Structure 1
Amino acid sequence: MTDRTTAGIDWPAGFERTPADEREPYPGDLSPTRKESFQSVVEELERWGATSVEIDTESQHYADRPNIPHQHDKPDDVGVVARFRREDEHADEGYAIACDRWETQRENARAIALYARRMRLAERCGVTTANSTFATARLLPADEEDAIVATGRVEQEPHEVLGVSPDAPDAVVKGAFRELVKDAHADHGGNGEHTVSELKSARNTLLEESQ
């Protein structure tokens, strides 16, 4: 197990970092606190079938809460790496998800948690499978590693995709979907922010959660 009570991040080998001057404020939901953002990484990964989750940052972590970096640390490197294993894989096979796209550790942790949540919900809706995603996150033997990178486009909650409240009635969800899908459809130039598939996934998830 990695000693996370000492400072220094072990970034997955071979993965290109985001230059500090290209990082941006996270545009998604940042209502969770710093502590909650890191806790949600572990929770969402475990719901996705991960085990032995370890979060790595440049900061020192609390000895009694090894996946939580010290609250008042302001590291130059704001990257966050979540390493984990799977229940149905060999014990020596590891995986990782990393993010350094946003300006703070809290934002990058939040992005990883939302990424894991979206992938889990997509699997439940039959959009994709966790196995195909986990395969790209497998850490290779020796010093070679391959990691899922939660960077680039922001992973949004389903209600954020449709622009409705988290507890919006089914009629509101369906109405928002109908309006947004017009902009996303190829017949209308495909100028929407989200694809038809993304909108359908968000709609189906919200309708399923309301049942």
Structure 2
Amino acid sequence: MSGLDWPAGFERTATAERERNRSFEATLGSTTEELATEMGRMDVEEWRGEIANAHTKSDGLPLHNANPDDPGFVLRWVDDGEQFAVACDASPRLRDNVRYVLKWVHETRMRSQRPVQTGDSEFAAARLPPGDDDEAVVGTATRQPPHEVLGVAPNAPENVIESAARARKAETHPDNDGDREEFKRVVNAKKAMLEDGR
């Protein structure tokens, strides 16, 4: 398991399809500094970066020498009580993925300063659907571990994980009046536990 909490509903890029960006000249350290500055300019309530290991600063942005196995990067923030996230794993290099996110945030923030009216906020594409009240997008301390979502031991064998996931999916399936977000959590928990066992 990578340890990266990829947002539900966001597709991952297959490892073989990740491409290096040869036009970025900035270092990972300067990129994270620029991103922190950009988030400060957005004046959001709270924000946090996330990579696939703990080699990060207190704001979740990677240290200059971070090199996780999973190069994906997620940026989450809360603004006016709404939760947002953008994520990138298009490159096999963490630095490039953080830089793509920085560029997107900067360009989107700049569009919001133009005197053009649109039907919604420029950041609407990054808005996440409402989640459980007790599970904050930015605060990682309240995130429930996958084995707890499924109600199994952390080192449960594959057949136990699959059986528990099948039962929990039946309970939470939206077609059976279940909660769509809880159903997604069950699906993601099963996937995380099975990948962790590889």
For the superposition of Structure 1 and Structure 2, which TM-score range results when normalised by the shorter chain? 0.5 to 0.7
- What does residue 37 of structure 2 align with? 43
1:124 to 107, 113, 119: 113
TM-superposed CA distance for 1:109, in Å, is 0.7
Q: Distance in 2 between matches of 1:77 and 1:130?
A: 36
Q: Which amino acid aligns with 1:74?
A: N
1:30 to 25, 50, 69: 25
Name the SS of the counterpart of 1:26 in structure 2.
Answer: coil
The answer as to 2:11 corresponding to 1:16 is: yes
TM-superposed CA distance for 1:10, in Å, is 0.5
5+ residue gaps, structure 2: 133-198
Q: Does the C-alpha gap of structure 1 residues 116 and 128 become closer, same or farther in structure 2, counting only changes over 3 Å? A: farther
The answer as to 2:67 corresponding to 1:74 is: yes
Contact 1:30 1:110 (8 Å CA) reproduced:
no
TM-score in terms of structure 2 length = 0.57
Q: Distance in 2 between matches of 1:113 and 1:128?
A: 24
TM-score in terms of structure 1 length = 0.54
* Deviation by residue 1:161-185 (Cα, 9 ceiling, x = unmatched): xxxxxxxxxxxxxxxxxxxxxxxxx
Aligned residues: 131
TM-superposed CA distance for 1:131, in Å, is 4.9
Contact 2:13 2:89 (8 Å CA) reproduced:
yes
The answer as to 2:102 corresponding to 1:113 is: yes
Contact 2:52 2:68 (8 Å CA) reproduced:
yes
Q: Distance in 2 between matches of 1:113 and 1:73?
A: 17
The answer as to 2:158 corresponding to 1:133 is: no
Q: Does the C-alpha gap of structure 1 residues 52 and 130 become closer, same or farther in structure 2, counting only changes over 3 Å? A: farther
Q: Distance in 2 between matches of 1:138 and 1:73?
A: 28
Q: Does the C-alpha gap of structure 1 residues 130 and 29 become closer, same or farther in structure 2, counting only changes over 3 Å? A: farther
5+ residue gaps, structure 1: 1-6, 144-211
